[in-house]
Chain A
């Protein structure tokens, strides 16, 4: 294993309200672990309630940090899932 890959990578996950959680992860960490950790910190039981974006692109939870090319200090946006059906409350 190359020397650089054993280093930890520091990531930030930024919520809509601009609160940031910092993560220190292994490059081989699967994103799902990070997302689940983030969700539990946010008192959410299901990580799927968030959608995670980096540079506007959806991050696949199945891939690792390295596969997605995330670098040290990268900031991930977490967005809360939104639904809309159409004025369900008014009828």
Chain B
């Protein structure tokens, strides 16, 4: 790890003390070029050599470099350069892309010519500046036209800086010519690609004109720039001389002497060294290395005084390491821009930028984009990994030939089995037919004689294909449906609970969102019976009203699947099982009318008084529990206590009991009372009036059975589980005392 970072730093920093690593090769995975000498460098050493001892001014354009530099150098015409040149100039500088060779050598050529002469480290310094600016651009590059433009200016600036070297004025012009020539070479290419765009030809002719203008302009500017640069050199070298008390004949000779030390690359002189390297970008790096070595040596001799060229290193360093904020702060402090006196001007006003930057097919541009997103992105975007197509089981689970495979929709949206089939019709007779065929299969031949037994099917045919979960009950075997659908079988509490559960669900999830009714489970009446018994018997130690927690839960909508608080509804349908009568009746608590309507399917039996006695228990206890559960406090929807029916009534006054007459009746001994009670409830939930006659018992028996069977099958095959969004019953705190008898089951 430390090695890697170290080598990387070396690769990208112009200057570091040679005590850390040396270069021993020149190959393309450039990280391999370096051999580490000091595997554990002191932090202070690195900090001092890179960051702290940077007393010299070097212009760094860190975050928004190019406008400033442009402003400084008054190079407004440089902005004529199209992105083509941007690409050319950016790619070859060796810090960007190591995998792809530079596409064009033009810039390298100019660089070569620049370095073929004895270059002072001054020049390198400015090169570094431009590189740093480029890096910054890549860091922050949003690839808007402006940024591309700003990148485009870098090479020119660097070349400009290359040129004003005191002895390299000729090369300055040559390199400049090469650049301009390059521009001219590139222009036709872009013209070819640009044929799609309208009015591009004109613009390009204009562009060429502009480039020629630019050429003139820059040549003019060079005079000032050269003067300025020379002044700068003088100033800097004076200060260096003062500091180090060394003889300085000139930057070029200094470099040669440093090469002559033999510590680097077998003492190749700088010039030949530069020319000897094959590729421009590596050469550039090596020259920078030479600078670094040279300056660091000077540093060494002069008690680690601030070297001039070390000013650049922090920027590069921080680039490579994805600069932290601290380093950026340092950078900003370092970035003394000696040239930034002129305010930035309008360098983005050229109309060519927009069209040129819209070139889609520039390969080199694409490269820039890729590198920015991969290498220089500070916070990589987290990618959501999704299982691919190969991430599947190799075993085929779906066969096209199987006719039995059902296509099941992914989500099972049917809320309750009565969703599209109302009790008044129309009825899905095909489904009924299918259901009856299924129901007949596997019946015991003598099952008619076994009416009292539970088993109606052969053992192997008894099981259901799938486990049908009706939440409040399970249909474990076919017998459950047999009991439901074949005449002469009485319904038990499971059937009633399932139907009333789905009616409740129908109310809760109806479209308008205002449930009109809710239903209770059979358990409700049993509880009421027990409480009433306790109340009447005055069992010592048992308080009937503390016993009624479950009743309060019911009223508040807890402990019931798809439960609705009673204060939200007008009617409550309660299936009432009269134990003595072996009979189901439907009791409808009409909360607004303060009455209980009883729907009895077998009035002729003459058991009205008995049923009334049963219902009276509910009617008597209900006001108390409504009070206990806080029902009357919830007056947001209906102000119950101010209703006319509640006026003058106290908790002691029982609900009125009304026997509903003129409803369809069952035939004696038909065992259909459960069906009738459920059908009454469903008629009422649909807002229908209960018919007086014309109630096909067998149709409705098979209707309930078929709908539940169909619904359960679909639900099971889709793998759906009913949403458990019902509030839980408030849990009683569990008192764990030793006195309670516990049954241990291991």
Contacts and interface: CB of A to CB of B under 8 A. Distances in A.
Interface of A: 10, 12, 14, 16-18, 21-26, 29, 33-34, 37-38, 41, 51, 53, 55-58, 60, 72-75, 77, 79-91
B494 A51 contact: yes
B490 A83 contact: yes
B493 interface: yes
Given A16-B526, A56-B521, A72-B734, A87 B726 contact: no
Contact of A29 (B493, B581, B745): B745
B471 A86 contact: no
Given A51-B494, A84-B577, 19 more contacts: A10-B742, A12-B734, A16-B527, A17-B530, A23-B742, A25-B746, A26-B745, A51-B473, A51-B493, A55-B559, A55-B726, A58-B473, A75-B731, A84-B581, A84-B584, A86-B583, A87-B582, A89-B582, A90-B668
A56 B602 contact: no
A18 B742 CA distance: 16
Max chain B C-beta neighbours (<10 A), residue from A25, A26, A53: A53
Contacts of A79: 493, 522-523, 526
Given A22-B740, A77-B523, A90-B607, A85 B673 contact: yes
Nearest to B735: A73
B561 interface: yes
A84 B559 contact: no
* Ranked 3 nearest A-B pairs via Cβ: A73-B734, A85-B490, A86-B673
Contact of A56 (B542, B561, B606, B742): B561
A84 B578 contact: yes
A58 B471 contact: yes
Nearest to A91: B668
A29 B583 contact: no
A17 B541 CA distance: 13
B490 to A, nearest CB: 3
Contacts of A56: 472, 521, 559-561, 563, 726, 729
Contact of A34 (B493, B560, B670, B745): B745
B671 A22 contact: no
A58 B493 contact: no
Contacts of A26: 745-746
A85 B583 contact: yes
B601 interface: yes
A58 B563 CA distance: 15
Nearest to A28: B746
A91 B530 contact: no
B78 to A, nearest CB: 70
Contacts of A33: 745
A33 B561 CA distance: 25
B547 interface: yes
Interface string B580-605: 11111000000000000000011001
Contact of A87 (B494, B533, B605, B741): B605
Interface string B511-535: 0000000000111001101100110
A87 B471 contact: no
Contact of A85 (B542, B559, B560, B671): B671
Interface residues of B, number: 63
16 contacts: A17-B534, A23-B745, A26-B746, A51-B473, A55-B559, A55-B561, A58-B471, A73-B731, A83-B582, A84-B673, A84-B674, A85-B490, A86-B672, A87-B673, A90-B605, A90-B668
Interface of B: 471-474, 490-494, 496, 521-523, 526-527, 529-530, 533-534, 542, 547, 550, 559-561, 563, 577-584, 601-602, 605-607, 666, 668-674, 676, 726, 728-729, 731-734, 736, 740-746
B746 A89 contact: no
A86 B601 contact: yes
Chain B interface secondary structure, helix, strand, loop or mixed? loop
B673 A16 contact: no
Contacts of B560: 56
A87 B607 contact: yes
Nearest to B733: A73
Contacts of A57: 471-472, 561
Nearest to A22: B742
Contacts of A34: 745
Contacts of A23: 742-745
A50 to B, nearest CB: 11
Max chain B C-beta neighbours (<10 A), residue from A22, A24, A25, A74: A22
A35 to B, nearest CB: 10
B493 A83 contact: yes
Contacts of B471: 57-58
Contacts of B740: 22
A87 B602 contact: yes
A19 B668 CA distance: 38
B743 A37 contact: yes
Contact of B530 (A16, A74, A84): A16
Nearest to B548: A18
Contacts of B732: 73, 75
Contacts of B607: 87, 90
A18 B547 contact: yes
A85 B701 CA distance: 14
B605 A91 contact: yes
A18 B542 contact: yes
B745 A87 contact: no
A54 B726 CA distance: 12
Contact of B731 (A60, A74, A90): A74
B526 A82 contact: yes
Nearest to B734: A73
B742 A84 contact: no
A87 B611 CA distance: 11
Nearest to B454: A48
A73 B733 CA distance: 7
A53 B523 contact: yes
A37 B666 contact: no
B553 to A, nearest CB: 9
Max chain A C-beta neighbours (<10 A), residue from B584, B671, B745: B745
A88 B669 contact: yes
A88 B728 CA distance: 39
B561 A84 contact: no
Contacts of A21: 741, 743
B602 A86 contact: yes
A37 B742 CA distance: 11
Contacts of B674: 84-86
B669 A22 contact: no
Nearest to A29: B745
B103 to A, nearest CB: 61
A80 B526 contact: yes
A3 to B, nearest CB: 18
Nearest to B577: A82
Contacts of B550: 14, 77
A69 B337 CA distance: 70
Contacts of B493: 51, 79, 81-83
A90 B582 CA distance: 10
Contacts of A80: 526
